[in-house]
Amino acid sequence: MSDSQAVSSAVAKLYDTYPFPPEPILDEPPPGYNWRWNWLAAYNFCTGRKPQKQDIRILDAGCGSGVGTEYLVHLNPQAQVVGIDLSSGTLEVAKARCKSSGADRVEFHHLSLYDVAQLPGEFDLINCVGVLHHLPDPIRGIQALAQKLAPGGLMHIFVYGELGRWEIQLMQKAIALLQNEKQGDYRDGVQVGRQIFASLPENNRLVKREKERWAMENQRDECFADMYVHPQEVDYNIDTLFELIDASGLEFIGFSNPSFWNLDRLLGKAPELIARAQKLSDRQRYRLIELLNPEVTHYEFFLGRPPISKTDWSDDQILLSAIPELNPCIDGFPSQCLFNYDYQIVNLSAAEFEFLQKCDGNSTVAEILTTVQLGLDTVRTLMQQQLLILTPA
């Protein structure tokens, strides 16, 4: 058995022992949403407009126990979804989960990311959350996935960041040392890790970090094992992250949490430093931000296969002729106080609220504005807040 095969086998054994994520199986669609898994919302975020089609193919690459897969099916009612995973035990949980909630437009395959070429056809959306960093060769993995992405398609990726996981790395190494020859016995690893935390002083840095960030989810052994006794993990920084992205051959569209990557929130009190930072490349600015705020536990972002273009709504006539509708990932509407796509509270003015109420997917912006006292700049603000999805004329 090669080193790569041995690692893959160890990873599969971990998830056969502790299927992950350990969310309960429901007999109804899961609550809420993750907008990154909603094709309409994600495509609008990446391009500024509504996609031309919704009868798409979605691949959940490394689907685990099917928590994300289930959302992908329910949030995209016209899509066909495929889930693949290395762990046969976890796949059985995913199948049971989707069957229970009626997520019936999905098929599962016991398959490594490396072997994704065995699946027929291409995919319009590939979701790969928490997987690449557990591969022996992440570059080989992302390249395999990239080959299955259709032209104009999107790939949503989540990988770990090294700066915000420093204490986790230390605990992983400590557990491995104490396990010694019992490494690979994941139940023993969880027991050792819990004993360490119970024994360390309360003011210990590892204990404080665990309590402030992870303790709630790590009450479950599945989560504790995934975090502290995983046999394979690669943690990234901006430099190594973009080495991975560049190797994919795909276009970097952007991080799905853009507010974090806004330098003004860190150096806004020093305009001369902001001016200096304007001379840096985008990647250098990203690196500067994570160095100044080393809380980055993960990177979540979109890649795309050209042709992908962002719609420019700066021309008033183009905007006026567009047809607006509500973003499907907002909660609490109709109300002037609602949650946006990222579960942030938005308070609407009376005119904004009236405008959104008339966004029925049939009327143009110009037609709605004949009955609502609202300026085009405010319409653009609603778009920037991802409350609206527009279809160009």
Average pLDDT over residues 384-390: 97
Domain assignment present for residue 309? The answer is no
pLDDT bin (cut points 50, 70, 90) of residue 2 is confident
Gap between the Cα atoms of 60 and 270, Å rounded: 43
**How much is the pLDDT for 352?**
98
Gap between the Cα atoms of 63 and 55, Å rounded: 21
Residues pairing with 254 in the sheet = 302
Please name the residues in contact with 134: beta carbons below 8 A apart, sequence gap of 6 or more.
11, 62, 230, 232, 233, 234
Average pLDDT taken over every residue of the chain: 97
Gap between the Cα atoms of 225 and 227, Å rounded: 5
**Residues 83, 128 contacting (CB under 8 angstroms):** no
Domain boundary among 199, 228, 257: 228
**How much is the pLDDT for 3?**
86
146 and 179 together in one domain? no
The range of the structural domain enclosing residue 287 comes to 3-162+235-304
248 and 216 together in one domain? no
135 and 32 together in one domain? yes
- Residue 330, domain CATH: 3.90.930
pLDDT bin (cut points 50, 70, 90) of residue 42 is very high
* Structure token pair of residue 73: 């099916």
268 and 140 together in one domain? yes
Domain assignment present for residue 310? The answer is no
335 and 293 together in one domain? no
Q: What is the pLDDT of residues 293-320, one digit of tens each?
A: 999 999 999 999 999 999 999 999 999 9
23 and 157 together in one domain? yes
81 and 12 together in one domain? yes
298 and 377 together in one domain? no
Gap between the Cα atoms of 342 and 183, Å rounded: 40
Average pLDDT over residues 156-162: 98
Domain assignment present for residue 379? The answer is yes
222 and 287 together in one domain? no
| Radius of gyration, CA atoms only, the chain | 23
12 and 85 together in one domain? yes
Residue length of the chain: 393
Number of domains in the chain: 3
Question: Global pTM?
Answer: 0.97
User: Does the pLDDT of residue 215 top 80, yes or no?
Assistant: yes
